[in-house]
Structures are given as structure tokens and as C-alpha cells.
Structure 1
């Protein structure tokens, strides 16, 4: 029996309309549940898919819907931004080798490649604390549990002991991500083979409980080879849903909020870049725009994304915005009002607006004041190493502006 061909719908994240298509009720409900698009009736049994402010892909049996980010930001760039935002040690080369724009192929290949690298010298082992009821003493007796659960009995004995095993958090996270990828319909045959081989290596690792938080782990010398694979595995587990049930639709979705991704990446990358300079960096710094009112407390909260302190003073102010300029190259006025409020409240003469965009920096002086708002674009469509270099230059030029009085050009 011939399989139905895949229907592939590609939308731009800024699109406000789409061609109508036919959807059965189950598919429509499944698509709506992913929140990637809003499904609107177009009449005559057809529906329009409107981007919902998110990007990613949804595969429902033979229907593939993709919402692409603006400015030609590719899959490898998104994976890097997501991973680096959680771990500044995540290197660009971990994803730069992947050029495909097929999201499932990119995710699967990256997870397989980094997983193979992590386990190339054997599966990680470590000590795991276990609670058991045994006939002999092993480890430490849990006296309170013994009295509570077995009053008046000497056996079995409630004990806690350390077991040297492969069932450690790192392997549980990696295997969970591998198994989730394997549920994706239409996954590349070679990628599936490699992921199945990884799954067999981790066959003795227990499964994660659905809906529970991911187990905690700490980067160390012992698990250093695993770290890149774990960062991608966490990206998969936090942003992807894959389900397959007998008699039901096969659904896989990978959906991210690019505004949050950009803000998190800029916060981490700029914090790292500013380490080269004196002072300390605070993310989501809370301050107030107004003086205390009659009740003795201020009420208008301000929270710039990044504030860098030098000698105890808020010296550099940054805010990240994932927005597009208008046709004439202007950014929303509200962003500049916000930066003016930040600079005024913290008694600064410079503040930086960081946009996900191409182009050159622009410096704007607020009329009848000494305050400058610097628009600083970061082009996410470049290679990850180029994006990081752009952030490094921002750190350097902002210090130059404030301490050498040489504005960004």
C-alpha cells in the first residue's frame, strides 16, 4: 500500500496569512495543541495557519508545518543559541558542522553525533545513592525508616548505600532525549540507525518519569565528554514533544519562543564577554523609576536585562529586543522610551538596545538631555562564532564609550 506523500507547509514567523488547506478534526486539534500556529477557519472545510509568535516545526503523520525565524536564522543557529544560553562553555563547532535546514534531521544528527562522541570511550559510570530493604547491612541503616515501617522486626533492614552504576543522571537525560527523537515520524533512516545504536548502549539506564523535572547534574572532569551532548539533550527534552500511540496520530513538535531565546542568549553571552573588564554583571536587575510615594515605597518597577556595575555603580545598561525594524529602518518608539527610563532612573548618560537584526550600530541623543540610546544589532544568521564576536565587540565598545568617551561608530 502506497503511503500518502508528505504535505509540507512553510511559514515565516511574521506572516499574517496563509493559503487555506484541508485538515481533519484530529489533525486540527493536534496542531492547535502545539501552539506553533493559530488555526483559523477559511470556509468550505478549509483552514488557515497563522504563526503564533513562536518558531519550530510540527510533524503530524504526513503533515509537516514549519515556522521559520526571520532573517534566515537557520536550525544550527537556533540550537547554538539555546545551548549557549544554558552553558557558555558550549562551543560553536558543536553545531556549526550541521548545514541542513530540516529541523528533525538537524536535531537528530546533532544529538547522534554528540552522543556518539560522549560514549566513544565507554558509557559514563558513577556512584548513585539507593534506598533498599536488605537481609544484610550494606551502607548506612536508616533507623527512622526501620522503626516506622518495621516496628519490632530486625529484618529486612532499611539501608542506604552507594551503587557504582551507569544509571546516573547524565545517562538518563541522554537516553530520554534519544528515545524522544526516535518517536519522530519521517526521521532520516541513517540518523535513526545511529540513535538506535546509542539507545542500545544505554539499555540498562532507567527511564525518566514523564512530567518530572530533569535530574540534576554538575559539569566536572569526570563527565566533561558528555557535556555538549547533555546540552543538546536538554534542548530536546525542554522544547520537543513526541508521541505515538496505537490507533492515534503520530505527533512530534519542536517549538521555541525566539524572543526568550534571544534574551537568554544575549544575557549569557554578554555576561561572559564583560568578565574581561572590571566590575560585576547582574541579569534582570530590579530598580524603580519613581521616588518613594507617601506610603514610603516606590511603585514603578524597572528590570533591564543586563546591568554592569563598576565600583558599586550601575555603569552599563543593556536590553535585548527580538524585533524587526520598520520599512524605513526605525525601531519601535516604546523601546527607546524604556531605555530613557532606565538611564534616567539610574543616572546614566548611555544605554544600549540590542536587536536581533543586521546593519550598523546607531547612536541617538535624546533631545534636551545628555542621554544617548545606542541601537546595536546582532545578526543571528551568521555562524555562531561570528555572533559571539559581535557580542564581544559590544562589550568592548560600551566600555570605550563610557570610560574613554569614544562613542560607538
Structure 2
């Protein structure tokens, strides 16, 4: 099925009416519109939100990014909205691919984004390309085979004779032998998952290079059956020394099969859909970068959950989970990430800050820092937010810092003026 691709940014608006398309609004088919509404109904039951219906003729996307493919053949590529102005889609796609690779801890040598800019194709083509290249390297090194016990009835002797069954052989069939023997076959969980992922890529690939490579590799795996229980086969994926050369392809296989939960949200479509909450990608990327800047003796705890807002009936209630918690001996520092664009010049609108976020940070400060020290809110650096804001004071002993994180250089701005045990020299994720 040929796909019609639509490229927008997060929070874009979609409609069935004829409009001039750009990154913030686009026209889709009525069938795709209805399918998105049904998909949102399924997500809504799980507490997630994908789209919001406006006046029955517009859909507003939420802050999920990635690729959606509808059953009617409409493909929607949703890119990060890093700046207010219309951005270069190639740069947004490169940023998104880097954040996905960082958040999912994909091998760095496989995450170069230069080839994303070589052709004007959606991000899904880059993901499929990485999977195909990793699978190609695996096949060149050799697929792992395994012995499998086969029990069958044959008119000749082979392997071991099952004497118990043979003695119960009825008259007229005594010329047939009950045999047990082992076959050296590639039918194992890892190969079955790779075959299933390759089948999906063969169906979804539109770019010529991916299409050709997928069908070339399919010839090597044609004797392997596809996985029928993805979850169970991933649980049985071996990681011993003999399977070390399979580790590079596994994350891409999980990505294609939609198993990178809870980051990825898989939709029920005919193609490959990859959706990621942008705030989660940002949080995971910041955590990975800061982990490479820790002083000796400092530990970083993502999503710490050791404190509660209050006690009720001698038990904690309303658990407090800051995104990042740093500990060095008895000292503790609380950092929280927010994927939102601030404006350092707009004092009247409080720079775009949320009062709810400040209440949240105050609770973190009272419980994790006993009402003393500094807390940090981290937002992405943009053209309108280039330097840390002046501190916000909760009390004489507790204040809140608001710092930008430079996604271009993987640098947290503001460390040089704070006692947090992190290196403030520029360190990229290559060193993390």
C-alpha cells in the first residue's frame, strides 16, 4: 500500500478541510481523522492522550512525537517543536533520532543521523534502515542454530528408537519405527523475532534502498518461522557469550515490533507506528548526559520514589517522584525536567512557567531537602530561553533554579554558579 505522508510538529492541528499545510496544521483524509478519534478513545481508557477534538472538525495533537501509519495509507510524521518559528524538518528529524537513540540506549555507532538528511523520508525509514544494517551485519557473522528434539514415525531407522512406543505399535504398522533424533535448526526465539520484524519492514519500507535490502535479507531468513508470541520470545532471548553478536540488533528489533515500553506507544495500524512522549525522551536524554558529568562518589537516581507528600493511617500517601535525584554522602539535590518552551523576556506571563510545577518542586524541597538548599527545574534551551533565570525564593533557606539545557551541545547551563556535584565543562553523550 502506497502511503501519503504528512509532516507536522507536536501540538499541530489536523483537519479534513482544504487548507495550506505547514508544520503546525495539515489536512488529512476523513478515514484517517476517524481512525485517530478511535485511537484516542483507546488511549483515553488508559489515561493517555494522543489528540484532542476541537469543534468536531479539528484534531490537536498532544506532545507525542514519532510516526503514525493509519490503515487507509496515511502516514503522519510528528516532529519535536523545539522553536516557535518554522524549523527545518531535517534538523528536527535529526534531533528526534538522537533523542530516541539516547533514551533507548542504542549503540552509538548505529545512531549517526547524517543519513537521515540524505533523503526527504520520514523518521520510520531511518529506523528501518538501522534495523536492516544491524541485521545485515548479523547475517554476515552467522545466524545461531540450535539442536531441537524431533519425535516422528518413519519406515527407516534414524537416531534413537523409542522402544516403549514401538512395543505398543498395532498390527499392520510394525514396519514403521518410532524415532527420536535431533536436528540442527535456526528455529530459535531470537531468529523468529528477527523474521517477524523483517516481515514488517518488508511491508512498510517505501525508500528504494530499504526496500531492496529488506528483500535481499528475507531470502536468508525464509526458512525461519515468524514469532507467534513476541513477549515470550523476547523473554527467552539469550545474552550469553555465544549470542553477543545479536545484541546490536535487539534494540532495533524491539523498536520495530513496538516492544520499547513504556516509552513507545504502539497503535493498532497496518504499518509501523512509533510514538514517544516528548517529555520522557527529554528526561531520559538529560539523565544520560548528566550521568557522564557526575563527580566521583555522586550517584544519580532517575525517578526516585522514597518520599511521600503526607502520611495517612501510618502509611505514606501521594508518592513524590522527582525526575533526577543526586546523592553524595548525606547531601541530596533534586532536579526535574520539563519539555516546555520558556520566554526569558516575558516577565508579565511569568516566563511561561507553571504554578503547578512550582507547587511540585516545593513539595520535593520539603521532603527530599528538608526545606533547605536549592532545587533545579530544567527546560530546553531555545532562542527565547538562553540563560538561567534569576532564582525563585520559597524561603530564606530554600530556592528554585530554572536552567536551560542545550540540546545542540548536550550542556546544562547554570552549573558553574551552583554547588551541585556535576562537571560544567561541555561533555557530550559520546562520553556518557
Once residues 220 and 201 of structure 2 are traced to their aligned partners in structure 1, the CA distance between those partners, rounded to angstroms, is: 16
**Distance change in 2, residues 1:153/1:30 (3 Å):** farther
> TM-score scaled by structure 1?
0.72
Match runs of 1:51-130 below 5 Å: 51-60=61-70, 61=72, 63-71=74-82, 74-87=92-105, 90-91=107-108, 94-100=111-117, 102-122=122-142, 124-125=143-144, 127=146
* Structure 2 equivalent of residue 190 of structure 1: 209
* Structure 2 equivalent of residue 318 of structure 1: 335
1:339 aligns with 2:361: yes
- Contact 2:131/2:249, CA 8 A, preserved across alignment: yes
* Structure 1 equivalent of residue 319 of structure 2: 301
Once residues 279 and 159 of structure 2 are traced to their aligned partners in structure 1, the CA distance between those partners, rounded to angstroms, is: 52
**Distance change in 2, residues 1:198/1:8 (3 Å):** closer
Kindly state the Cα deviation for residue 195 of structure 1 after the two structures are TM-superposed. 1.2
Pick from 1, 10, 21: which aligns with 2:7? 10
**Distance change in 2, residues 1:198/1:360 (3 Å):** farther
- Contact 2:302/2:325, CA 8 A, preserved across alignment: yes
* Structure 2 equivalent of residue 237 of structure 1: 257
Kindly state the Cα deviation for residue 17 of structure 1 after the two structures are TM-superposed. 6.4
* Structure 2 equivalent of residue 205 of structure 1: 224
* 5+ residue gaps, structure 2: 19-26, 41-49, 170-176, 259-263, 425-432
Kindly state the Cα deviation for residue 23 of structure 1 after the two structures are TM-superposed. 6.6
1:178 aligns with 2:198: yes
Kindly state the Cα deviation for residue 259 of structure 1 after the two structures are TM-superposed. 2.0
**Distance change in 2, residues 1:302/1:133 (3 Å):** same
Ranked by relative contact order (alpha carbons within 8 Å, sequence separation 6 or more), the top structure is: 1
* Structure 1 equivalent of residue 304 of structure 2: 285
Which deviates more from structure 2 when the two are superposed, residues 194-203 or residues 205-214?
Answer: 205-214
Kindly state the Cα deviation for residue 117 of structure 1 after the two structures are TM-superposed. 2.9
Kindly state the Cα deviation for residue 212 of structure 1 after the two structures are TM-superposed. 3.8
- Contact 2:159/2:179, CA 8 A, preserved across alignment: no
* Structure 2 equivalent of residue 248 of structure 1: none
The number of equivalent residue pairs is 365
Match runs of 1:253-292 below 5 Å: 253-271=273-291, 273-274=293-294, 277-290=296-309, 292=311
Cα deviation 1:103-159 (Å, max 9, x = unaligned): 23222222222322333333x31547x5765689999x9xxxx9xxx9x97997999
Which deviates more from structure 2 when the two are superposed, residues 60-69 or residues 332-341?
Answer: 60-69
* 5+ residue gaps, structure 1: 245-250
Kindly state the Cα deviation for residue 208 of structure 1 after the two structures are TM-superposed. 1.7
Once residues 213 and 130 of structure 2 are traced to their aligned partners in structure 1, the CA distance between those partners, rounded to angstroms, is: 11
CA-based RMSD: 4.2
